[in-house]
């Protein structure tokens, strides 16, 4: 049962147990709310005895009923407290667990997943969808199941007490429920439209924030805002339609429920006139009729909320079911040679990126991947670190197949400098320390000095303690690149991947930073990706990748004179210069 609850509502094992407790305590609370009706029934029956039966007196004193009322209130208070804790406090704990679980899941997914999803999509799932689940599970879902259970139990008890009045009381419930279930598909379709259109609007806003510089520089603000208004209107249209549809069906079912009170009055009057029931039975059913429809109304409202929740639950389950990259956490590497053997790879079906790639990057050597843009150089370097899993062939490090090694453990052996640097909204010192969280300030400053960071950091207001803004927005491209190189120096891993590491630097700074890079790559396995031929002139081996295949390989001097792809690239750059 717990497994079914977990899957149906995208809960953890503890969350499923807490959900079960919430349903039980909410059921008890709903039943306890009938205690006042029971109390009034016994009180009136006792104290109206002298009126209906002259000469008789009540069996209990007023103190007895005051004490009973206090006991009833205490019971209700205890149950309400337990119910609050099991449906609110635990739900917020589960919400935190869900967000952490999603983050952990994302951390273990291959990068191919992130290539298919944009930032706003993932952010909405972790934040907005989790918030909606949190709200609905604290206010609706346990109450839905508890209401159904309590109504069922109360109905059985009332049937034994007086079946005619019970039928008069509850005949409206199945009819009202039928209205909701007839509308179920329409409501779900409407909710899906809202969800999809909301994502479209969110994506467009996210895109605008990320490309605001281009939007302004090309003076296309009007076009952007016009498209945004159009998408907002579409979203508003679907939202209004869905709300009207949901409101119409829910209000119709609630209107049908109101007929139940009328049928109780009419049926009770007829039975009372024929002496089939007494006045007290009539009164107690009237009191129950004034209370029992409230939880039923909650059921219908919560069903509508659950139909909307299904979309988000399916989204959570979809993410949880995604295959993750796994592998051994313990392995031994005798060396750090990287070898590609007949590797094929594509990001999506029908678009092959690498075809039968084979080469070896040896430890202690610099292996440069060069070739035309889009040929697959960066892809090959990232595959070497298992950012994706290949389709066929093998990639080994030190003779070990990397597809059988846990990616996070594998990456402990890599220092990587990407062309697109990602920085965090913290100090320069802490951005560099990401390379080695246990590094001392002196070690961080030494790595920064080798990467030529002193030149610009010392001009900042607080030096290395200066906060550089989101993604280093206060820095130039070259400054951000130098911080990235300092990170890699600080990590000091045996395998180094440099993807256009000096692309954002001018000639003078590139020359300066070569000292730091020389320190970084000493006695290590190095893969360099570069378009500038002078950057790879000192490489031990050149691998030319063109159209996803190895076009040629060899040392720079040898390739220069065979009039191949490398020679042509070298001549073109010299002519351009």
Tell me, what's the pLDDT at 234? 92
Tell me, what's the pLDDT at 570? 82
38 alpha-carbon distance from chain centroid: 47
Same fold, 2-320 and 338-413+493-576: no
Map out the domains of the chain as residue ranges. Answer: 2-320, 338-413+493-576, 427-486
- List, in sequence order, the alpha helices (H) in 492-549: 507-521
- Contact call for residues 340 and 357 (beta carbons, < 8 A): yes
* Span 13-70, pLDDT tens digits: 777 777 788 888 888 887 777 777 677 767 776 766 655 555 555 566 778 778 878 8
- Contact call for residues 455 and 478 (beta carbons, < 8 A): no
3 alpha-carbon distance from chain centroid: 21
Tell me, what's the pLDDT at 513? 66
Model's pTM, two decimal places? 0.67
| Distance of alpha carbon 73 from alpha carbon 447, whole angstroms | 69
Q: How far apart are the first and last CA of the chain?
A: 72
| Distance of alpha carbon 312 from alpha carbon 4, whole angstroms | 17
Cβ neighbourhood burial of 64 (10 Å; 0-12, 13-18, 19+): middle
- Contact call for residues 35 and 75 (beta carbons, < 8 A): yes
- List, in sequence order, the alpha helices (H) in 532-564: 556-560
Residues (pLDDT < 50) of the chain are none
| Distance of alpha carbon 241 from alpha carbon 194, whole angstroms | 9
CATH code that applies to domain 2-320: 1.20.1560.10
**DSSP letter for each residue of 402-455:** GGGB-HHHHHTTEEEE-SS----SSBHHHHHHTT-TT--HHHHHHHHHHTT-HH
Tell me, what's the pLDDT at 289? 80
| Distance of alpha carbon 555 from alpha carbon 543, whole angstroms | 9
- List, in sequence order, the alpha helices (H) in 49-89: 49-52, 62-84
Tell me, what's the pLDDT at 342? 93
* 3-class state of residue 358 by DSSP: strand
Return the C-alpha torsion angle 115, 120, 123, 127, nearest 10: -150
Tell me, what's the pLDDT at 505? 63
Cβ neighbourhood burial of 355 (10 Å; 0-12, 13-18, 19+): middle
Tell me, what's the pLDDT at 397? 93
Instruction: Identify the CA nearest to 15 among candidates 144, 149, 148, 141.
Output: 141
Tell me, what's the pLDDT at 51? 55
Q: Which fold is adopted by the domain 338-413+493-576? A: Rossmann fold (3.40.50)
* Span 301-336, pLDDT tens digits: 777 777 777 777 777 777 777 778 888 888 888 889
| Distance of alpha carbon 383 from alpha carbon 523, whole angstroms | 22
Instruction: Identify the CA nearest to 574 among candidates 225, 566, 475.
Output: 566
| Distance of alpha carbon 568 from alpha carbon 126, whole angstroms | 49
């Amino acid at each position: 049962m717990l497994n079914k609850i977990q899957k149906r509502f995208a809960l953890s094992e503890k969350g499923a147990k807490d959900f079960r407790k919430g349903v039980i305590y909410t059921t008890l609370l709903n039943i306890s709310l009938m205690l006042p009706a029971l109390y009034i029934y016994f009180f009136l029956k006792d104290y109206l005895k002298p009126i209906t039966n002259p000469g008789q007196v009540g069996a209990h004193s007023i103190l007895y009923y005051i004490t009973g009322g206090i006991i009833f209130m205490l019971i209700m208070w205890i149950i309400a407290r337990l119910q609050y804790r099991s449906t609110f406090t635990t739900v917020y704990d589960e919400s935190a667990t869900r967000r952490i679980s999603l983050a952990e899941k994302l951390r273990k997914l291959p990068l191919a997943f992130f290539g298919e999803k944009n930032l706003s999509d993932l952010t909405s799932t972790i934040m907005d969808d989790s918030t909606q689940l949190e709200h609905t599970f604290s206010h609706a879902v346990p109450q839905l199941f508890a209401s159904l259970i309590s109504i069922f139990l109360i109905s059985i008890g009332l049937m034994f007490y007086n079946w005619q009045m019970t039928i008069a009381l509850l005949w409206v419930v199945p009819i009202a429920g039928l209205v909701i279930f007839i509308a179920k598909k329409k409501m779900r379709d409407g909710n899906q439209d809202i969800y999809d259109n909301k994502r479209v609007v969110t994506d467009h806003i996210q895109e605008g924030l990320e490309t605001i510089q281009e939007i302004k520089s090309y003076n296309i603000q009007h076009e952007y805002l016009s498209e945004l208004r159009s998408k907002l209107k579409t979203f508003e249209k679907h939202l209004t339609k869905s709300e009207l549809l949901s409101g119409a069906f829910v209000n119709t079912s609630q209107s049908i429920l109101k007929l139940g009170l009328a049928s109780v009055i009419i049926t009770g009057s007829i039975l009372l006139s024929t002496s089939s029931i007494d006045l007290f039975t009539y009164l107690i059913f009237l009191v129950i009729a004034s209370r029992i429809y409230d939880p039923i109304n909650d059921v219908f409202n919560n069903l509508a909320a659950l139909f909307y929740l299904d979309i988000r639950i399916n989204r959570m389950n979809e993410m949880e079911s995604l295959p993750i990259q796994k592998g051994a956490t313990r392995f031994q590497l005798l060396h750090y040679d990287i070898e590609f053997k007949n590797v094929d790879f594509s990001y999506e079906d029908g678009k092959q990126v690498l075809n039968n790639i084979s080469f070896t990057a040896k430890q202690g050597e610099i292996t440069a991947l060069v070739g035309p843009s889009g040929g697959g150089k960066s892809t090959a370097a990232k595959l070497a670190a298992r950012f994706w899993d290949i389709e066929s062939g093998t990639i080994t490090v030190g003779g070990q197949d990397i597809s059988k090694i846990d990616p996070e453990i594998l990456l402990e052996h890599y220092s990587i400098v990407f062309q697109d640097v990602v920085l965090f909204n913290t100090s320069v010192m802490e951005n560099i320390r990401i390379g080695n969280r246990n590094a001392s300030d002196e070690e961080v400053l030494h790595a920064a000095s080798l990467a030529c960071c002193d030149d610009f950091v010392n001009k900042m207001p607080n030096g290395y303690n200066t906060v550089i803004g989101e993604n280093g927005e206060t820095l130039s491209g070259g400054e951000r690149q130098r911080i990235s190189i300092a990170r890699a120096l600080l990590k000091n891993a045996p395998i180094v991947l440099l993807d256009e590491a000096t692309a954002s630097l001018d000639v003078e700074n590139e020359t300066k930073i070569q000292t730091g890079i020389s320190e970084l790559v000493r006695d290590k396995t190095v893969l360099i990706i570069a378009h500038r031929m002078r950057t790879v002139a000192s490489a031990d081996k050149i691998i030319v990748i063109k159209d996803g295949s190895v076009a040629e390989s060899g040392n720079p001097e040898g390739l220069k004179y065979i009039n191949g792809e490398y020679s042509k690239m070298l001549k073109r750059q010299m002519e351009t210069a």
